[in-house]
Amino acid sequence: MKVLCISKWAKAPSPQERDAILPKEVPATLELYLDGVIEQMWFKLDAPGMVFLVNAESVDAAKTHVHGLPTGQAGLRVPRNKAFQGAQRRAGLVG
């Protein structure tokens, strides 16, 4: 299942929080990407935050992956998750 995980900052991190968390966040995110958990990722332009397209067995599994990142563990990120099924599959266009 594909889960669109849209997150924003719960609060603006202090420079100390940012400096402590981001060096851990980048390799942790890269690991999920290389493992095929995160399929795509984008920066939000309307507000600070990230959008991840996650491959997971369920919405709860996707939440576990994204919330397990250092910013989630530090309570700095507020996630919103939306499961969806590809339009082609739903329309029966893929055999």
| CA dist., res. 23 & res. 89, Å (int) | 39
Q: How confident is the model at residue 80 (pLDDT cuts 50, 70, 90)?
A: confident
Q: Which CATH number fits the domain 2-84, given the four candidates 3.40.50.620, 3.40.109.40, 3.30.70.1060, 3.30.70.270?
A: 3.30.70.1060
| Residue ranges of domains in the chain | 2-84
Q: Per-residue pLDDT tens for 2-29?
A: 888 888 888 878 899 889 999 999 999 9
| Predicted structure pTM score | 0.78
| CA dist., res. 54 & res. 32, Å (int) | 9
